[in-house]
Amino acid sequence: MISLHSCISFRFERPVFPLLFSGAEPLAGALPYAQCYGGHQFGMWAGQLGDGRAITLGEIINSKSERSGYSFLSLKV
């Protein structure tokens, strides 16, 4: 979901916003990543199950350039 309030608060121009938040055009310096996972299903080791997590586009850093370590921008497809 994309809201006008989010667009304004992130100060992205409207044509750029969908490209950034769809993952089509990463932010400068961003290192997007996804992680695979493995696990047991029905009592048996199922091995690598793929990427059930979101694609993380990057960490959100506040206006004072401080990192919280808890705020990440992610996409789930």
Residue 33 β-bridge partners: 56
Q: pLDDT value at position 42?
A: 92
pTM above 0.75, yes or no: no
Instruction: Report the distance separating Cα 39 and Cα 53, nearest Å.
Output: 14
pLDDT, one tens digit per residue, over 31-72 is 887 777 788 889 999 887 766 677 888 887 777 888 777 777
Instruction: Quickly state the pLDDT bin for 7 (edges 50, 70, 90).
Output: low
Residue from 64, 72, 62 nearest 31 by CA? 72
Three-state DSSP state, 59: strand
Residue from 14, 30, 33 nearest 75 by CA? 33
Higher pLDDT, 4 or 17: 17
